[in-house]
Amino acid sequence: MNWYVVARMLGMLGLLVGASMSFSLPWAFPIVGKVDTFESRGFWGIVASIACSLAVGGTLYLYGRIDKHASILRKEALATVGLGWILAGVLGALPFLLSGCQIAPASKMTIIDAIFESISGFTTTGASVFRELEDPNLLPRCVMFWRCFTHWLGGMGIIVLFVAILGQLGAGGKAMLKREVPGPITESVRPRVQESAMVMWAIYVALTGIETILLLFSKVPLYDALCHSFGTLATGGFSTHNASAGHYGGGIVEWIIVIFMILAGVNFSLYFLVFRQQRDETRWYQRISLLTSDAEFRAYLSIIGVVTILLMVTLTSNQVYGSLWTTFRHSLFATVTIITTTGFGSEDFSNWSEFAKGLLFLLMFMGGCAGSTGGGIKVIRWVLLAKIFFLEIEKSFRPNIVRPIRLGGTVIDERIRNDVVVYFCMMMALFLGSWLLLITIEPDTMWNNHPDHGAAEKLLDCGTAVAATLNNIGPGLGVVGPKENFSGFSQQGKVLLTLLMLLGRLELFAVLVLFSPQFWRKQ
């Protein structure tokens, strides 16, 4: 392990995070009227955070320049990704701490609260400790913008942005890009790593701009349009309103958010392929066929359709809503926001039937497509697991059969098959272990004192809290439902959930290797 290389990379990353904070500063100044005292405090809190970030980043960079000719290899790349997300989370927490934010009246944020909120933003989880978002005396407007902007930075990945801007990282850059565009079958969009990262970010920026414009035409203020576009394209879910997307009353705004959540859950490599075919003047139906011929894309849309129909049936049978259209709208929104791991809310699905809640709970483990901004296990792994499952059933009565697993005409390598099975086993083991640990360390007082949720629901609430953070979704059920927050958890519980966010975002290995002594040895 070459510490000079890692320090240099982390230093540049720290400088990038510090520079990104500057985009939040203009929002401290209202268009009309004077800047109030609390907003001014938020402004100077961000200025101080920028200074701290630049100081930390500059120090690490200068230290790493001692061996400036050393190249970044696989181990250094993994260390940079794992430590880089931790560093970004710590630096990103500074605006909350230095601005004097409060999670509730007379309840200031602790260091753990601030890191939880920051990591939740960068990992696009969307779990929050803030109980009141619309009180201007608790969360400054400029700091709230930073809170939403962390989603956008983490959506396509701060490391992908890092590679796109800096480039020339060789094999190490490819390893970093692979960890940021996760999935069992990860191929670069372009032959060169830097070009691949730049293409990904160009598509990401373009979709963000289109959604923002559409929201503006729908009479959403610029501030809200930007913040909700950040949360949508990053599949994050931080909102500027307590009611989340439900604040807009289910009109055209909600449909814009649904459409772009679906788009954000698609493999971004497919968008590039469609764009490239367009430049080659291929017919439009041939370009569309690139999407429809992709097995993961078809499975992704099929799951959305099936789950939406099942939710409509159960909601209609229980007469939850008065009209079929309203039932369809809420069913589709809940399905899309969970499968894409966005976490926006249009309705409190914690009040739905047990079957509906169970269906959404299972959907939390699905995730978007590989190469998308969505979290979760990913649709492609479920498709491969199903193929492996049926092949093993056939081998039980035809043991001598030799049949490769194919996906879209491509034979899946045995190593990838093993990786998929191992990943599923690790995720399930991590989920179950964390669930039991959270139940153990959390006191019953949070449930005993809650007006709507008793101690009997602690088991389910802790399970959904673990699933929601591990799969980077945000809201769960019960005390962490769409209308609730994570502020009631103990400090040690928040530490566990923060770690789960990182593990889920980096698909386990980039974080787990940090705990391996062999990883840090020079040879």
**Residue 202's pLDDT band (cuts 50, 70, 90):** confident
Paired sense of beta strands 102-104 and 410-411, if any: unpaired
User: SS3 letters for 333-354?
Assistant: HHHHHHHCCCCCCCCCHHHCCH
Cβ of 201: how many Cβ atoms within 10 Å?
19
Q: Kindly report the backbone phi and psi dihedral angles of residue 107, in degrees, each rounded to the nearest multiple of 5, phi listed first.
A: -140, 95
403: left (phi over 0), alpha (psi -120 to 50) or beta: beta
Report the alpha-carbon distance of residue 107 to residue 318 in Å, rounded: 40
Cα angle 286-292-298, degrees, rounded to a multiple of 5: 175
Give the range among 9-18, 265-274, 331-340 with minimum mean pLDDT. 265-274
Q: How far apart, in Å, do the first and last CA atoms of the chain sit?
A: 7
Cα-based distances in Å from 285 to 265, 271, 295, 305, 352: 22, 14, 17, 23, 41
Report the alpha-carbon distance of residue 492 to residue 215 in Å, rounded: 39
Report the alpha-carbon distance of residue 239 to residue 259 in Å, rounded: 17
SS3 state at 108 = strand
Q: Kindly report the backbone phi and psi dihedral angles of residue 131, in degrees, each rounded to the nearest multiple of 5, phi listed first.
A: -90, -20
Report the alpha-carbon distance of residue 485 to residue 497 in Å, rounded: 13
* pTM score, whole prediction: 0.90
Q: Residue 455: is its pLDDT beyond 80?
A: no
Cβ of 109: how many Cβ atoms within 10 Å?
24
Give the range among 61-65, 226-230, 496-500 with minimum mean pLDDT. 61-65
**Residue 295's pLDDT band (cuts 50, 70, 90):** confident
Check residue 190 and give its pLDDT: 47
405: left (phi over 0), alpha (psi -120 to 50) or beta: beta
